[in-house]
Amino acid sequence: MGIIRKTESVELLLKEFHDTETALSTIELIKRLGKRINKTTIYRVLSKLEEDGVLHSFLGFDGVKWFARCKSHTQVQISDIHPHFQCISCGKTECLDIKVDIPKLVNREVLLSQFIIKGKCNLCVA
Amino acid sequence: MGIIRKTESVELLLKEFHDTETALSTIELIKRLGKRINKTTIYRVLSKLEEDGVLHSFLGFDGVKWFARCKSHTQVQISDIHPHFQCISCGKTECLDIKVDIPKLVNREVLLSQFIIKGKCNLCVA
DNA sequence: CTTATATTTGCAACTTAGTTGTAATAACTA
DNA sequence: TAGTTATTACAACTAAGTTGCAAATATAAG
Ligand SMILES: [Zn+2]
Ligand SMILES: [Zn+2]
Ligand SMILES: [Zn+2]
Ligand SMILES: [Zn+2]
């Protein structure tokens, strides 16, 4: 796990991600762990884990940052990019294990992309 | 143009969008017009114009809101959705006139999606 | 043109996600 | 065990965006 030290903050945060299949927002993590870990630390550990390729992040429709486990546990490559889904009813936000074609753009260099889909999840469709 | 009144704020904002082909961020608009229009008014007029189908909006990689003219001048439909491109060198942000396939998701209802691409624009590729 | 009504505006104060600096603390190394 | 370096908490800050309200202005009615 790279240069990161095994501190209580790191282990508490990793536990949250190992206990769920979905993504977790910074807001949610501060709600859950804010009494045991300072929010600054939460933000900093999350970035470290992202740098280390343990987590990846994306912005939800509300502009809030979400994190999720990386399946491959390596730095996120452009080829790894997958869409994310946010449920408007229950708030569940998750990685979609689908490949999306990043359009070829003439005269432009594509470096990164984000595809986010909003709707009703499997549990919330009527 | 719906129920919106022809006020100076509306006309100044519309002029900005008619003078450019690219998208404009709220930040940029406040920078340009903040001395003539209060920022609260800028935010409120932008939402009105979006409700009216004159503009559409999306979030940039930084979480800042961007607005751009709608080509069709009708409420944004799911079929109208197009990707947006943000240049990391010059900051130019624009609509891409490309169709993206929104993947069919089993057991889920798709309501909205956003596809944003980051890279170097035609003027900034070396 | 004047008045009435409804929308829009500016202002100040607020909310909220996220960041910064720093001194103290804890993890790792030799 | 002692030294070095990374990590932490805390408080203060930044910045995008929102809210409530009284004053101003656009439009409609007379
Ligand atoms: Zn749901
Ligand atoms: Zn993901
Ligand atoms: Zn550029
Ligand atoms: Zn667009």
Higher pLDDT, B70 or B49: B49
Beta bridge partners of B87: B119
| Mean pLDDT, rounded, of chain B | 91
What is the spatial distance between Cα A34 and Cα A16, in angstroms, rounded to a whole number?
A: 13
Burial of A68 (0-12, 13-18, 19+ CB in 10 A): buried
Q: What is the pLDDT of residue B76?
A: 52
Nearest Cα residue to A17 out of A39, A49, A44: A49
Radius of gyration of chain A (CA): 16
pLDDT in tens, A80-119: 689 999 999 999 999 999 888 888 899 999 999 999 999 9
What does the pLDDT average to over B69-92?
A: 79
Ligand nearest to the backbone CA of A56: 2
Helices B8-18 and B26-33: crossing angle in degrees, nearest 10, is 120
> At CB < 8 Å, which residues of chain B contact A?
59, 61, 63, 65, 83, 85, 88, 96, 98, 100-103, 105, 107-122, 125
Check pLDDT > 70 for residue B16: yes
pLDDT in tens, A12-65: 999 999 999 999 999 999 999 999 999 999 999 999 999 999 999 999 999 999
- Measured between beta carbons, which residues in chain A are less than 8 angstroms from residue B119? 105, 108-112
Domains along the sequence of chain B with CATH: 8-125 (1.10.10.10)
Nearest Cα residue to A57 out of B112, B116, B61, B66: B61
Check pLDDT > 80 for residue B80: no
> Which nucleotides in chain C have some atom under 7 angstroms from a protein Cβ?
7-13, 16-21, 26-28
Share of chain B above pLDDT 90, in %: 79
Q: How confident is the model at residue A72 (pLDDT cuts 50, 70, 90)?
A: low
Residue B117 structure tokens: 């691409």
pTM, to two decimals: 0.92
- Measured between beta carbons, which residues in chain A are less than 8 angstroms from residue B61? 59, 112, 114
What is the spatial distance between Cα B32 and Cα B27, in angstroms, rounded to a whole number?
A: 9
**Could you count the other beta carbons within 10 Å of the beta carbon of residue B58?**
20
B101, B111, B118 ranked by CB distance to A111: nearest: B118
Q: What is the pLDDT of residue B110?
A: 94
Check pLDDT > 60 for residue B73: no
